[in-house]
Amino acid sequence: MATEKEIGKILIIDDDEDVLLAAKMLLRKYAREVIIEKNPKKIPFLMNNDTYDVILLDMNYSKDTTSGKEGFEALKTILSMDPKAVVILITAFGDVEMAVRALKEGATDFVLKPWQNEKLLATISAASKLKKSYNQVKELETAKSALQEAANKPFQDIIGQSPAMQRVFEVIEKVAQTDANVLILGENGTGKELVARALHQRSARKDNVFVSVDMGAITETLFESELFGHKKGAFTDAKDDRVGRFEAANKGSIFLDEIGNLSLPLQSKLLTVLQSRQVTRVGSNKVTNIDVRLVSATNMPLYDMVGENTFRQDLLYRLNTVEIKLPPLRERGEDIPLLANHFCEVYAKKYRKPTPTIDRETMQKLQNYKWPGNIRELQHALERTIIMADSDVLTSDDFTFLRHEAKNEDAPLENDGTLEDIEKNTIKRAIDKHGGNISKAAKELGLTRASLYRRLEKHGL
């Protein structure tokens, strides 16, 4: 039975004023609004000017008429204007054939006068829930349509007009429709996951799931459980069966980010799965076939690592049927105005501020800056600047790193910050000095590449 104000807006159409008033008195406690109308000819006007969660419609409007003809005509009018309208027909004559015909012609339910209050309320409550489900389906269809429309736009999430990015777009278009494994190479913050998603959205698998896995965040002990799944009781914390990422991505695409961070033993386990296209959950002997499109990415020099025996050559061959190299931002300076203006719009909207412009001199400085953190660094810089800016025109003074870059470029490091700041500034200076070359920067700093990568992630560089 309906609870108070559970039902939305109800429209009642009946030529009997006593019926209208009785129904309104009963239903107004349970509905947000109750509209009553004597004349069925006003249905087009009512339907054009409002929407209703439930419509109660009398079957007969002429004295001594029991055919329900006028009710069926009114039902036809309502459904022609709103095919998803939820209509309950009411009549004083319990005709089974009429009820069956009413349901066949689109009525949701059928009640008899005089009604029992509890019965009427239960019927209307069920009808109201049905209408809500229709609305939810419509919202989902609208959202799906919008997503599909957005997915069909060429690289709407990957911004760039530079020759380097045009070459990337060409490769994506060529390889997307195939099931070839793709390896995306690029520094931190260059947009590797966006490229992976673009490949998925343009593939035959676009209607299936895209699963993203940060391989650098998975510990050695949980690797098999996370990627291949486990059975209940397989280890201490395995309280339920769990589907691994590969099974979850079946028929879709799986994106293995930071693939270069895997140890040799884990590389071996991954290679076995890629070769057999089968997974076995931890604690089980059952083999499950998988059908996935594999896209991998790394900011590490895999070819150098193969030479140093820290990355398996046979795994590299499995990963890079096609290779996409993303250029660092410093090599596509002509794209910086596009990206900067895009982030200005995004964060101005997010923080409910006017969309700012960037003056010409400042934009030139942004284009000349090395951007060791690439697009991610530019994005964060614009977000901070928009939050703090007092003007609709952004200048160099609004960007702290630009304001201090010139005077600090050749100055010795000041030790008046925290150890975290000192480490961050030292790393940043080494990266800038070597034009983003991680190997050279790591050598100067006395670090391994892996250690430097971890510190870059730690400081958001």
pLDDT single digits (tens) 74-97: 899 999 988 889 999 887 766 667
For residue range 106-119, list pLDDT tens digits in order: 998 888 888 888 88
Asked whether residue 41 falls in the same domain as residue 176, the answer is: no
Give the percent of the chain with pLDDT over 90: 47
Instruction: Kindly give the pairing relationship between strand 253-257 and strand 210-214.
Output: parallel
pLDDT of residue 154: 44
Domain count, the chain: 3
Question: Tell me, what CATH number does 344's domain have?
Answer: 1.10.8.60
- 210 and 293, same domain (yes or no): yes
Residue 63: inside a domain, yes or no? yes
Is the model more confident about 421 or about 132? Answer: 132
Q: What's the rounded mean pLDDT across residues 8-30?
A: 89
This prediction has a pTM of 0.58
Count of H-run helices and E-run strands, the chain: 19, 16
Q: Looking at residues 228-245, what average pLDDT do you find?
A: 84
CA distance 138 to 126: 19
145 pLDDT above the threshold of 80? no
Collapsing DSSP to helix, strand or coil, 54 comes out as: strand
DSSP bridge pairs for 7: 31
User: Is pLDDT above 50 for 411?
Assistant: no
281-307 average pLDDT score: 92
> Is pLDDT of 62 > 80?
no
Domain interval for residue 357: 330-458
149 is a domain residue: no
Measured between alpha carbons, how far apart are the two ends of the chain, in Å? 59
CA trace torsion 256, 261, 264, 266 (10° rounding): -40
Averaged pLDDT, 440-458: 77
Domain endpoint, select from 108, 140, 172: 140
Compute φ and ψ for 182, nearest 5 degrees.
-125, 135
Tens of pLDDT, residue by residue over 361-405, are: 999 999 999 999 999 999 999 999 999 998 899 998 888 877 655
Q: What pLDDT, in 10s, does the model give residues 147-179?
A: 455 444 444 578 999 999 999 999 999 999 999
What is the model's pLDDT at position 142? Answer: 55
pLDDT surpasses 50 at 314: yes
Task: Give the residue from 273, 305, 327 where a domain finishes.
Answer: 327
Contact 27, 10 (CB under 8 A): yes
- Residue 55: left (phi > 0), alpha (psi -120 to 50), or beta? beta
Structural domain includes residue 342: yes
Of 303, 327, 351, the last residue of a domain is 327
129 closest CA partner among 5, 4, 8: 8
**Confidence label for 55 from pLDDT (cuts 50, 70 and 90):** very high
Q: Which residue has the higher pLDDT, 407 or 299?
A: 299
Please report the pLDDT score of residue 346 as a whole number. 92
Residue count of the chain: 461
Residue 148 lies inside a defined structural domain of this protein: no
